[in-house]
C-alpha cells in the first residue's frame, strides 16, 4: 500500500502546501490519492465543531473528498504541540494512537495512495504512552513504517535545521529527500535562499526532490512536483 509521511524542519515551512500539492500531482497523474493530518492543533470552532484549517486545505487543494474524521481524527484548539495542548486542557491521550491508526488504515482501505502530514517538526511530542514516555512524529512514522519527505524553507537558518532533521529521520526511517518550499514570498536578492538548499543537501547527504516557489496557481505549483511523482509511481 503506497504511503508517504511529510515532515518539516519547523512549523510554517510549507508542509501542508507540499502535502496538498503532492496529492494533487498524484491525482493528476492518475493515482487515487488522499491526504491526512492525524493530529492538528490551532483548530477553530465552526458551529461548535473543531475544524482544522490545514485539513480543509488538504482536501481543497489536494482535490479529494474524504470524511473529516478520517482526514484529521484528532483536533485541538490551542496552537501548541499536541501533547502540550492536551496537558493544558487535561485531555487523556491514551486512545490517540488507536484513533490515528484506525483513520489511516481506513483511508488505506478506501484509496490507492495515502499521504500523511506531520505536525510541527520531527520531534514534536504527540501523546503520552502507558509507561509515561512521550511519543513523537518519529515514533508514529516508525510504527506505521512510512518513508519520509522533509519539507524545508530556503531562508537563513535552513542549513542547520535541514541537516539535523535529515540526520534524525535516518535514525529510524527511510528518507526520500528534501522538498524546499517558499511558504512566503522571498526577495530576489536573498543570498541565503539561493545558496542554502545545495549546501544543506550536501551536508545532510539528501536529495533535493523539488523546489516549490511561492505561488497562488495551484496547478502550476503542483507541476514542479511531477518528476518526483513519476518516480513514486514507478
Instruction: Return the H-helix or E-strand segment holding 6.
Output: strand 3-8
Each residue's pLDDT, cut to its tens digit, for the chain (234 residues) gives 599 999 999 999 999 999 999 999 999 999 999 999 999 999 999 888 999 999 999 999 999 999 999 999 999 999 999 999 999 999 999 999 999 999 999 999 999 999 999 999 999 999 999 999 999 999 999 999 999 999 999 999 999 999 999 999 999 999 999 999 998 999 989 999 999 999 999 999 999 999 999 999 999 999 999 999 999 999
Given a contact cutoff of 8 angstroms between Cβ atoms, the answer to whether 127 and 83 are in contact is yes
CA distance 184 to 84: 27
Q: At 47, is the secondary structure helix, strand, or coil?
A: coil
Maximum CA extent, the chain:
51
The alpha carbon of residue 101 and the mean position of all alpha carbons in its chain are separated, in whole angstroms, by 16
CA atoms within 13 A on the CB side of 73: 17
| Alpha-carbon torsion (201, 202, 203, 204), positive or negative | positive
Residue that is written with C-alpha cell 505561488 in the block: 215
Where do we find the cell 518528476? 227
- What's the rounded Cα separation, in Å, for the pair 48 and 231? 43
pTM for the full predicted model: 0.96
* Closest by Cα among 22, 42, 40 to 31: 22
* Catalytic residue numbers, as ranges: 37
Cell numbers that stand for 184 in this block: 512566503
Helices 96-110 and 137-144: angle between axes, nearest 10 degrees: 50
Gyration radius (Cα) of the chain, Å: 17
Alpha carbons within 13 angstroms on the beta-carbon side of residue 133 total 4
Return the CATH number of 3-229, one of 3.40.50.300, 2.60.34.10, 3.90.180.10, 3.30.950.10: 3.40.50.300
Amino acid at each position: 500500500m503506497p504511503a508517504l509521511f511529510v515532515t518539516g524542519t519547523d512549523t510554517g515551512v510549507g508542509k501542508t502546501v507540499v502535502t496538498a500539492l503532492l496529492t494533487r500531482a498524484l491525482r493528476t497523474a492518475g493515482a487515487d490519492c488522499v491526504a491526512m493530518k492525524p493530529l492538528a492543533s490551532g483548530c477553530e470552532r465552526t458551529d461548535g465543531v473543531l475544524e482544522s484549517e490545514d485539513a480543509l486545505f488538504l482536501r481543497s487543494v489536494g482535490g479529494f473528498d474524504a470524511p473529516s474524521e478520517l482526514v484529521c481524527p484528532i483536533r485541538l484548539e490551542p496552537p501548541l504541540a499536541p501533547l502540550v495542548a492536551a496537558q493544558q486542557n487535561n485531555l487523556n491521550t491514551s486512545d490517540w494512537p488507536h484513533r490515528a491508526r484506525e483513520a489511516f488504515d481506513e483511508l488505506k482501505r478506501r484509496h490507492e495512495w495515502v499521504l500523511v502530514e506531520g505536525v510541527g517538526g520531527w520531534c514534536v511530542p504527540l501523546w503520552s504512552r502507558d509507561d509515561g514516555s512521550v511519543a513523537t512524529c518519529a515514533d508514529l512514522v516508525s510504527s506505521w513504517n512510512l518513508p519520509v519527505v522533509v519539507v524545508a524553507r530556503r531562508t537563513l537558518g535552513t542549513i542547520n535545521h535541514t541537516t539535523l532533521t535529515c540526520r534524525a529521520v535516518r535514525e529510524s526511517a527511510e528518507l526520500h529527500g528534501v522538498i524546499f518550499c517558499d511558504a512566503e514570498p522571498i526577495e530576489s536578492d536573498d543570498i541565503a535562499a539561493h545558496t542554502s538548499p545545495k549546501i544543506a543537501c550536501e551536508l545532510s547527504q539528501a536529495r533535493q526532490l523539488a523546489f516549490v516557489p511561492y505561488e497562488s496557481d495551484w496547478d502550476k505549483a503542483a507541476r514542479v512536483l511531477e518528476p518526483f511523482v513519476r518516480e513514486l509511481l514507478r
